[in-house]
Structure 1
């Protein structure tokens, strides 16, 4: 059975809108309790952003993304991580139980 995101659609839409504005070139994966189960209303949303053209290249714009998420009206904490800055052991854990949250809306420059 494929993982399912435990997040109200209106919150997901708000996060997607901010991602589209701030990091349109990023591939975004969700992981953590909202994917594997056990989430509650106040659980955070864990996201990892990847540069689909080069997984080892850090993404630009993460600071602005984090600021936009914190200033939004989305009532949950959204934790954002850059794939290129995470250790390989964390990559392995994320790959085990994650789901694609958003494909890039424009190619990486």
Structure 2
């Protein structure tokens, strides 16, 4: 279970809704998922597009800026899955929590 106060999780969901496309999934990993967080621990997030391609230019930086400008009492370390070294992926896949599943892109009929 994600170690985050309910009001902070609500704010995080609001920021995601305002600053990320609906199809982008957001996963938490690290100490706030592993159960070894303390009050000042940061929150580690990774953003994943449906095709695992990089987010559109500027999208990640605007989301990071919104997090910094928000009233969240912790630092949120946010990464784009596509831009992380592949060697880091297994560490996240070993233990993560889906914060937002993302909405699958609509299939276009042939």
SS of structure 2 residue aligned to 1:42: coil
Is 1:59 the counterpart of 2:55 in the alignment? yes
Query: In structure 2, what is the equivalent of residue 85 of structure 1?
Result: 83
Distance apart, 1:106 and its partner CA: 7.3
Deviations 1:34-68 (A, max 9, x none): 0001101111000000001x11x101210100010
List alignment gaps of at least 5 residues for structure 2: none
Is 1:5 the counterpart of 2:33 in the alignment? no
Query: In structure 2, what is the equivalent of residue 94 of structure 1?
Result: 92
Q: Which TM-score applies when normalising by structure 1?
A: 0.89
CA RMSD of aligned residues (A): 1.4
List alignment gaps of at least 5 residues for structure 1: none
Distance apart, 1:107 and its partner CA: 3.8
Choose 1 or 2 for highest CA Rg: 2
